[in-house]
Amino acid sequence: MAKTAADVLIEGLIDWGVDTVFGLPGDGINGIMEALRTHQEQIRFVQVRHEEAAAFMACGYAKYTGKLGVCLATSGPGGIHLLNGLYDAKLDGQPVLAITGLPFHDLNDTFTQQDVALDRLFMDVAAYNTRVMGPTHVENVTELACRTAIGYRKVAHITFPTDIQDMKADRKMASKRNVAGHVSNVPADSGHLPTEADLQRSAAILNEGKKIAILAGQGALRATDALERAADVLGAPIVKPLLGKAAVPDDSPFTTGGIGLLGTKPSQEALENCDTLLMVGSSFPYIEFLPKPGKAKAIQIDHDPVRIGLRYDVEVGLVGDSRRCLEALLPLLKRKDDRSFLEKAQKGMKDWRELMEKRSSNMEKPMKPQVVAHELGRRLRSDAIVSSDSGTITTWWARHIPAQKGQLYSCSGTLATMACGLPYTIAAQLAHPNRQCVAFVGDGGFSMLMAELATAVKYKLPIVVVVIKNNTLGQIKWEQMVFLGNPEFGVDLQSIDFVKYAEACGAVGVRIEDPKECGSLLDRAINANPSGPVLIEAVVDPFEAPMPAKVTFDQAAKLAESLVRGEPNRSKIVTTQIADRVRELV
């Protein structure tokens, strides 16, 4: 039987090693769905409940496998729904291919049904973006889309008129320049090394430095050993932005943990006081936490030359794979005899861990979210993959769930979108069926795409979903008060019984309200459903603030202002730890 144009597309994906496509059927992609059906022994179609989730799953799949993530949506609204998840992939530098449908090729741009020019809509999000012009066009564009997404770690997009999908891929119809056999699916490694001269210049600067800090982001995730060796030689603390959480384990003697509003005090002090900064695979966007301009000499390692000097004025840029660059740099470095800068950071981390332990062992009611994060972290397997969402939940995930060697962690690091945690976890479990996969999410983010819990039930995925329920959009609430001095407004959420919802979907639901029972209930819940998902609803104090590592005078003054201007929960907030810090500063 002659191949259709859609068959050529799917076989091209298989040739590029794609084994999973996340999507939702629709009449604009019926030809592609048929090709997936006839090739289902070689490639798996995962049906989602919302196309946004399909794009998040493709992004999460790419993050946790290093492979190309693929999502599929129908014409018009289906394609539009992909955009948020695709921007998540774009901003976090993940290789994702989006495939969408279009109306009949000769009815596009005629106000027909679902007449949205998705190729024009996707111009900003996609590095490679094209409309299929005929059956013999498909092989060429599939190869280029996959190569671009993988080679540059960017989003690619192919949009496919529905009638062309079913047309026969007859080479006789090809143009005279579209010669058969000219397309190759051989991948090429772009992880080149910097020049010897740049390595020597970098080593000279690092060898001269007295107080060196290392900022290790997502690009350093596969460079753990090299990072720790560099930190040891240089006497340098390793500071980790969110996406670099698993770059080195949190029990490493060299790391000071996270940075930023949800980071640690020792990390912030290391960057404030360093005279030399080694940036490894990071485009950490909060430049106010980096050394003041001119205070430190900086070396940056990044696979993308465009990112060099993006956040800080650097002396040398080393373009290439983080691990390979560090391994080339290490023999040129001289071991620091003066360990005082590192030792000060280590003492600071000892004090910081004691503070985090105190906050996470608070047995008062209502239960503090730190308690849940801490108890969950103690029960994670060494192979766990833990995905978080965006909001106050990210603070508890960053500070109170320590990364162990071998574990994987991610969140929406740059777009900071809500709703990604559950789809990421579904993708992780599909990619790694024998690993422990956990979503640590807030009630606001979870409820946006909570229908995907039914997806986890459908595919019998033994994921654990921990929903921190405080019935408020907590991050926005505290930003309104602490950054702007405004009383909270529009942030209260209608309460949902997530246990009943989980049971309605066919999952197991468990509720935790008493901090004294948190550990035992987690023990029971985590192992309660080996053939499907478990949802744990942890009811927590809505007035527990995500405290900055250092509360500034301005932040304290703004919070005080919000209380004076009519904050509706003033009487409850004045009894919290953040109010105590305000009284110290104002």
Percentage of residues of the chain with pLDDT beyond 70: 96
Q: What is the mean pLDDT of the chain?
A: 94
Q: What is the 3-class SS of 297-309, one letter each residue?
A: EEEEEECCHHHCC
Give dist(CA 400, CA 547) in Å, integer: 13
Tokens in use for 436? Answer: 């422990």
Give tens-digit pLDDT for 518-553: 999 999 999 999 999 999 999 999 999 998 888 887
pLDDT at position 502 over 70: yes
Determine the Cα–Cα distance for residues 256 and 352; give it in Å rounded to an integer. 9
Pairing of β 255-258 and β 276-280 = unpaired
Q: Which amino acid is at 35?
A: A
| Percent of residues, the chain, with pLDDT higher than 90 | 88
Give all strands (DSSP E) within 133-219, no chain letters.
155-161, 212-216
Instruction: List, in order, residues 6 or more apart from 494 with CB less than 8 Å away.
Output: 471
Q: What is the DSSP string of 453-472?
A: HHHHHHTT---EEEEEE-SB
- Reported as a pLDDT band with limits 50, 70 and 90, residue 188 is confident
Answer yes or no: are the C-beta atoms of 456 and 507 closer than 8 Å: yes
Q: Which of 257, 280, 276, 277 is nearest to 268 (CA)?
A: 257
CB-based contact 469:540 (threshold 8 Å): yes
| 56, 90, 176, 483 from 412: Cα distances, Å | 10, 11, 46, 22
Domains and CATH numbers, the chain: 5-173 (3.40.50.970), 196-347 (3.40.50.1220), 361-585 (3.40.50.970)
Residue 471 tokens read as 């019935």
Rounded CA-CA distance 319/469 in Å is 43
CA distance 548 to 151: 38
Q: Per-residue pLDDT tens for 225-248?
A: 999 999 999 999 999 999 999 999
Q: What is the pLDDT of residue 585?
A: 45
Q: One-letter amino acid identity for 286?
A: Y
Closest CA to 215 of 300, 127, 154: 300
Q: At what angle do helices 340-360 and 392-400 cross, to 10 degrees?
A: 120
Q: Using one digit for the tens of pLDDT, what is the confidence trace for 114-138?
A: 999 999 999 999 999 999 999 999 9
Question: Residue 397: which of 337, 475, 460 has the closest Cα?
Answer: 475
Q: What is the mean pLDDT of residues 291-308?
A: 96
> For residue 185, what are the contacts with CB-CB under 8 A and spacing of at least 6?
12, 15, 16, 143, 146
pLDDT at 151 over 80: yes
